[in-house]
Structure 1
Amino acid sequence: MAGILVQLLISWVLLRAFEKQDLSALGLAPTNARVKDFVIGLLMPVVYFTVLFSALSYLGHNPYHANPNYTSKEFFVGVWYLLKSVAFENLIFTGAILYILIKRLGTTKAALASAVAFGVYHWFSWNLFSQPTAMAVTFFTTGVAGFVWALAFAKTASVYLPFSLHFGVDFVFSILFSQDKSLGPQLLIKTYEADPTSPGTAVSILMMALYFLGFPVLTCLYLKTRKQKSGNTGLFPASE
């Protein structure tokens, strides 16, 4: 938590120095619209990936079941870790620096810069150097996610939606389903180590597209719908 407080202090200094703003520029104060965005941002990845992973397990004849050894302590420790981790990353990539970049470069260029930085960051955090294939895949997948998080900040003028989207995705992959073992056991695990069967080529390609690109596209559609309903473009209309 001390690190996050330091980040907030640095964010305040940057906003004051470059834009004569304070932390309110990050949309930290709760409003009805921001709380709604937060809840939707949590639900979207959980629902989307639950449906997708359930479909994949059905096609592979490898259903998920509740992990009998998973404890409530492991759940809350995992959630607390993710909360701190996501807050730390979002303050870097969808915080004061992104706000300043949007003001100076426009939304699209700023979001691309944030996406590139987010992708490269994961090379270091996941220690992928000397693994070129993993580096390329990670740069693409996390870069796309980083672009969407940045766009969510720009469109809503707040950190609420990018934070909840980011947390929701990490929650699905690190706690809910047995996809990422970095936090230990998951709540839901597959019946078999490997899928007994594999879907056909066409279905596999479709599922891969839904796995890597489906959720970013869904999020962008939500942002477009939200913009149309609210009748505004966030804090940065001149950048659109």
Structure 2
Amino acid sequence: MLGLLIILVISWALLRFVEKKNIDVLGVILYPKRLTQFILGFIFIVLVTLVNIGVETFVLKVEWELQSTFNYKLFFGAVVYHLKSALTEDLVFRGALLYILIHKLGAKWAILISALFFGVYHVFSYGMIGDRWIAVVYVILVTGFTGYVWAYTFYKTKSIMMGLGFHLGVNLMNACFFESQPYGEIFFQKVSSIDINDWNWLFFNLFKGLFPSLATLVCLKLLLKSKLYSKIEKK
């Protein structure tokens, strides 16, 4: 929590002294419009993630086992943990620095720079230094494209809230099905699956990694042109 507070203070200082702006230009205050953006982002990415898990279940013939008991404390802990984690990363990669870069370099370059740094950051956060270059490139490509879509979302919605909904939703849903630290397999545990090799493995992992962000980008563009989004903007 202290780290998050420090990032907020640094963000305020950067915006105040570099751009002469208030921190609310990041859309961090939960006005009704911002809350609606967050909820839409969360619900959408939960559905997309479930589709992705469904495809994995079909392709790899995964058998899942439902956890015998529902641990409310564990689930609440996961929500809090992933919310803090997502908010921290979003403030760093899609907060004050991105806002300043957009005004200094233009949206195109700012979003690309943000995406690249987000991808490289995950190489370190996943502990992949020294791994095979193919695995490193894959992580940079997948997480970088995700960072691109979320940075584009910030630019178009003028708020981190919809991107935060995306970020929280995908991390939380994956924690419900897959192993991760400190929270994982909250609802289901993978019992068995088949192995696939060579090109099938490559195509499957590219789909699994890129599909959520590609679907998000397409649907976001459609949403921004819709009457629904016009109503949200008027709130």
Q: Give TM class, smaller chain.
A: 0.7 to 0.9
- Shift, 1:121, TM fit: 1.2
Match of 2:220 among 216, 219, 223: 223
Aligned 8 A contact 1:119 1:143 in 2:
yes
Aligned position for 1:48: 48
- Shift, 1:207, TM fit: 4.2
Counterpart AA for 1:19: E
- Shift, 1:10, TM fit: 0.6
**Residues 1-240 of structure 1 aligned to structure 2 (within 5 Å):** 1-68=1-68, 71-131=71-131, 132-173=133-174, 175-178=175-178, 180-186=179-185, 187-192=187-192, 195-196=193-194, 207-229=204-226, 230=229
Q: 1:45-73 deviations in whole A, cap 9, x for unaligned?
A: 21112122123213433232312266222
Distance 1:212 1:185, change over 3 A: closer
Unaligned runs of 5+ in 2: none
Alignment coverage as a number of residue pairs:
227
Counterpart AA for 1:225: L
- Counterpart Cα distance in 2 of 1:205 and 1:46: 24
- Counterpart Cα distance in 2 of 1:26 and 1:223: 19
Distance 1:196 1:147, change over 3 A: closer
Distance 1:184 1:3, change over 3 A: closer
- Counterpart Cα distance in 1 of 2:55 and 2:211: 14
Where 2:65 maps in the other structure, the secondary structure is strand
Distance 1:80 1:221, change over 3 A: same
Unaligned runs of 5+ in 1: 235-240
- Shift, 1:171, TM fit: 1.0
Counterpart AA for 2:168: F
Aligned 8 A contact 2:177 2:184 in 1:
no
- Counterpart Cα distance in 2 of 1:94 and 1:217: 18
- Counterpart Cα distance in 2 of 1:185 and 1:159: 26
TM-score by length of 2: 0.86
Percent of matched pairs sharing the same residue = 31
Aligned 8 A contact 1:59 1:197 in 2:
no
Counterpart AA for 2:90: N
Distance 1:113 1:184, change over 3 A: same
State which drifts further: 150-159 or 30-39: 30-39
Counterpart AA for 1:130: G
* Cα RMSD after superposing both structures: 2.4
Distance 1:32 1:69, change over 3 A: closer
- Counterpart Cα distance in 1 of 2:129 and 2:208: 24
- Counterpart Cα distance in 2 of 1:196 and 1:24: 49
Aligned 8 A contact 1:63 1:191 in 2:
yes
- Shift, 1:89, TM fit: 0.7
